[in-house]
Amino acid sequence: MVDVRGLLCPMPLVTVRKEIEKKNPDTLEVLFDEPGALDNVTRFVTGLGYKTEVVKCGPDFKLVMKK
């Protein structure tokens, strides 16, 4: 699980990109508090071939990514 809550753009995208480059996970969950960052990361990982699902978690969002 990667927590990017509280990070300002472009850091959520940079953080997720580094995690993918480092571990090349088949699945990854990312916590967001900013819808704009969620949209940017979703577009990025979709381009990498991940299927995505967004789950609302109180005031935050969880992006579930699967290859």
> Mind listing the pLDDT tens digit for each residue in 35-65?
999 999 999 999 999 999 999 999 999 999 9
Residue type (1 letter), 2: V
What is the model's pTM? 0.94
Instruction: Give me the chain's average pLDDT, please.
Output: 97
| CB atoms near residue 54 (< 10 Å) | 14
Which domains does the chain carry? 2-66 (3.30.110.40)
- DSSP letter at 8 equals P
Residue type (1 letter), 37: A
| CB atoms near residue 60 (< 10 Å) | 14
Distance in angstroms (rounded) separating the CA atoms of residues 60 and 67: 23
